[in-house]
Structure formats: structure tokens, C-alpha cells
Amino acid sequence: MTTLKTLPAKIDELVKYQTPLSITSEKEYDRYLSIIDRLMGLGKRSRGQEIYLSTLCDLVHCYEEVHHRIDTSDISGLDVLKSLLEEHEMSAPDLGKLLGGSPSLGYKILSRERSLTLEHVKILGKHFCLPPHAFMD
């Protein structure tokens, strides 16, 4: 396994770097998380990087469902969102823009003046590599 300073933009080069296969160990799990973090930090990703990121997120999600299952029954979708915004150093205006609205949309959602729509939770799921239901109550 070679280590690259920058991740390739083309999917075939990404697959050569790390072939996305079912995760069978904690070492592989940590490796995939590291690549996901690097891809998430790019800001603007190529189409190939988006597809690759989505694939890795799906594989990590499947592994976590079996090996890292967490009881989230007492955590609201808004709590999840607020935590992720903080972790990714995103503001309410950033949230509004991510969801395709004005910066004020983020404030309204975080203060419960507006609810997340189905389209919003799909966007959030894709952006944060989580299933959309993670943002629903």
C-alpha cells in the first residue's frame, strides 16, 4: 500500500490506491475512515472521488452496523446534526448553503423554526456519510 499526499481525482486511480472491499478487520476499518476523512477534507471533489467516497461510506456503515453498533434511541436528529456541524467546524450559514438555501435557513433549522425536509436529510446523509434517517426524529 502506497501513501499519497494527495488523493487521485479519477476513480480507477483511487481503486488502485485502495480497492474498496468488504471490511473484515479493525485495521481495514481504520484505513477506510482515514481515506474518508481525507476525501471529506477536500472541499470540492471530482465525480470519481464522490463515487469512491460514497462506496467507502457504504462499506464502513455495513461494518459499523455489526461491529460498532451504538444505541442512539435517545439522540435526536438535530442533536446529530449539531454535533457533526461542530466536528466539521461548520456554522449555521454553512448549513443553509449546504442545503441549497440562504444562510438564514441554517439558523432556522438549528433553532427548530424550520424542520428538515426529506431532501435536506438526503443531502446531509450524503455530505456526512450517514444514512439519512440519522437526521430524523
pLDDT at 23 over 70: yes
Helix pair angle (47-67, 26-40), 10° resolution: 140
Domain ranges of the chain: 11-67, 77-135
Give me the pLDDT at residue 72, please: 66
Give the mean pLDDT of 48-71: 90
Contact 62, 23 (CB under 8 A): yes
What is 77-135's CATH topology?
Answer: 434 Repressor (Amino-terminal Domain) (1.10.260)
Buried b / exposed e over 111-123, threshold 16 CB at 10 Å, is: eeebebeeebbeb
The residue type at 83: S
Checking 43-51 for CB contacts under 8 A at 24+ apart, the result is 46/9, 46/10, 47/11, 48/8, 48/9, 48/10, 48/11, 48/12, 48/13, 48/14, 49/7, 49/9, 49/11, 49/14, 51/11
User: How many whole angstroms separate alpha carbon 4 and alpha carbon 1?
Assistant: 10
The 10 Å Cβ neighbour count of residue 105 is 20
Tens-place pLDDT, residues 64-123: 888 987 676 788 999 999 999 998 899 999 999 999 989 999 999 999 999 999 999 999
Half-sphere exposure of 96 (CA within 13 A, CB side): 15
